[in-house]
Chain A
Amino acid sequence: MDTNEETVQGQVVSNNDPLTIKSDLDFIEALRNRCGDYFLKCMQCGTCSATCNIAPDKAPFPGKEMAWASWGIKDRLMNDPDVWLCYQCNDCSTRCPRGARPGDLLAAVRQESIVQHAFPRFLSRWVNEPQSILLLLSIPIILLSLALILRDSIEEALGITKEVGDQILYSYSSIFPHWLLNSFFLFFTALVIIALIVGVKRFWSSLKAFDNPDGSITPVKGLMPSIFSAVKNIITHENFSKCTAERTRQFSHIAIFFGFIALSCVTLWIITLGINPLISGSFVYPFGFWSPWKILANLGGLALIGGIGLIIRDRMRHDAQAGAGNYYDWAFLTTIFIVVATGFFTEALHYVRLEPHRHIAYFVHLVFVFTLIVYLPYSKFAHVIYRTVAMVYAEHTGRNDDVSLDKGENK
Chain B
Amino acid sequence: MNVSAKPILVIGGGIAGMTAAAEAAEVGYRVILVEKEAYLGGRIIRMHRYFPKMCPPTCGFEINTRRIRQNSRIAVYTFTTVEEITGKAGNFVVKVKKHPKYVTGQKPLDDSITEHITSERDNDFNYGMNKTKALYQPHDMAYPRGYVLDRDVLSDSDAETLVKICPEGAIDFEMQEEEIEINVGAVIIATGWRPYDANKLDNLGYGQFPNVITNVMMERLAAKSGPTGGEIIRPSDGKKAENVAFVHCAGSRDENHLPYCSAVCCMASLKQVRYLREKNENARATVFYIDIRTVGSEEKFYYDLLEDDKISFIKGKVAGISEDSGNLILDVEDTINREKLHNKFDMAVLATGMVPNTADLKIPFELKYDMYGFIDRSANIEGIYAVGCAKGPCDVSRAVKESTAATLKAIQCLGGGD
Taking Cβ atoms with an 8 Å cutoff, the residues of A that contact B are 3, 7, 10, 43-51, 55-60, 63-64, 95-99, 405, 407-411
Contacts and interface: CB of A to CB of B under 8 A. Distances in A.
Contact of B320 (A51, A55, A58): A51
B240 interface: no
Nearest to A51: B319
Contact of B255 (A48, A63, A99, A411): A99
Interface of B: 203, 243, 249, 253-257, 284, 286, 290, 312, 315-320, 324, 329, 331-345
A232 to B, nearest CB: 25
B253 A46 contact: no
Given A47-B317, A95-B319, A409 B344 contact: yes
A50 B339 contact: no
Given A408-B342, A410-B343, A45 B337 contact: no
The residue in B203, B316, B340 that gathers the most chain A C-beta atoms within 10 A of its C-beta is: B340
Q: Dominant SS at the A interface?
A: loop
Nearest to B291: A43
B345 A50 contact: no
A45 B343 contact: no
Contact of A57 (B255, B320, B329, B340): B340
Nearest to B203: A95
B329 A408 contact: yes
B343 to A, nearest CB: 5
Nearest to A45: B317
A57 B243 contact: no
B318 A58 contact: no
Contacts of A48: 333
B254 A50 contact: no
A96 B333 CA distance: 13
5 contacts: A10-B338, A64-B338, A405-B339, A410-B286, A410-B344
Contacts of A60: 333, 338-340
A95 B253 CA distance: 12
Contacts of A51: 319-320, 331
Given A46-B316, A47-B317, A97-B253, A411 B343 contact: yes
A63 B256 contact: no
Given A46-B317, A50-B319, A63-B333, 11 more contacts: A7-B336, A10-B338, A44-B290, A45-B316, A50-B320, A55-B340, A60-B340, A95-B203, A97-B254, A405-B339, A411-B312
B39 to A, nearest CB: 36
B184 to A, nearest CB: 42
Contacts of B334: 46
Nearest to A7: B337
Contacts of B336: 7
Given A44-B335, A46-B334, A47-B319, A97 B329 contact: no
Contacts of B256: 95, 97
Contacts of B338: 7, 10, 58-60, 63-64
Contacts of A409: 343-344
A3 B335 contact: no
Contacts of A58: 338-340
Contacts of A7: 336-338
Nearest to A67: B335
A3 B317 contact: no
Contacts of B317: 45-47, 50, 97
B339 A59 contact: yes
B340 A49 contact: yes
A50 B324 contact: no
A56 B338 CA distance: 11
A393 to B, nearest CB: 19
Nearest to A402: B340
The residue in B316, B319, B334 that gathers the most chain A C-beta atoms within 10 A of its C-beta is: B319
Contact of B339 (A44, A57, A96, A98): A57
B255 A45 contact: no
Given A7-B338, A57-B339, A95-B203, A50 B290 contact: no
The residue in A43, A46, A48 that gathers the most chain B C-beta atoms within 10 A of its C-beta is: A46
The residue in B338, B339, B341, B344 that gathers the most chain A C-beta atoms within 10 A of its C-beta is: B338
Contacts of A411: 312, 341, 343
A49 B333 contact: yes
Given A97-B255, A99-B255, A407 B342 contact: yes
Nearest to B331: A50
Q: What 8 pairs across the A-B complex have the smallest Cβ distances?
A: A46-B333, A50-B319, A97-B254, A45-B317, A49-B333, A46-B316, A57-B340, A46-B335
Contacts of B335: 44-46, 49, 63
Contacts of B257: 97
B332 A50 contact: yes
Contact of A45 (B290, B312, B324): B290
Contacts of A10: 338
A250 B381 CA distance: 56
B340 A50 contact: yes
Nearest to B312: A411
B284 to A, nearest CB: 8
Nearest to A59: B338
A410 B345 contact: yes
A55 B318 CA distance: 16
A66 to B, nearest CB: 10
A32 B260 CA distance: 25
Contacts of A55: 340
Nearest to B343: A410
Contacts of A64: 338
A358 B50 CA distance: 83
A408 B319 contact: no
Contacts of A410: 243, 284, 286, 343-345
Contacts of B341: 57, 411
Contacts of A59: 338-339
Contacts of B318: 50
A144 B402 CA distance: 79
A391 to B, nearest CB: 20
B345 to A, nearest CB: 7
Contacts of A46: 315-317, 319, 332-335
A50 B290 CA distance: 13
A368 B310 CA distance: 65
Given A45-B316, A46-B334, A50-B332, A408 B344 contact: yes
Contact of A43 (B203, B290, B312, B331): B290
Nearest to B315: A46
A99 B315 CA distance: 20
A50 B333 contact: yes
A89 to B, nearest CB: 15
Contacts of B203: 95
A59 B337 CA distance: 8
Contacts of B343: 408-411
The residue in B203, B243, B318, B339 that gathers the most chain A C-beta atoms within 10 A of its C-beta is: B339
A48 B338 CA distance: 12
Contacts of A63: 333, 335, 338
A71 to B, nearest CB: 14
B328 to A, nearest CB: 11
Contacts of B249: 45, 97
B211 to A, nearest CB: 15
Contacts of A43: 253, 290
Contacts of B243: 410
Contacts of A95: 203, 256, 319
The residue in B324, B331, B335, B344 that gathers the most chain A C-beta atoms within 10 A of its C-beta is: B335
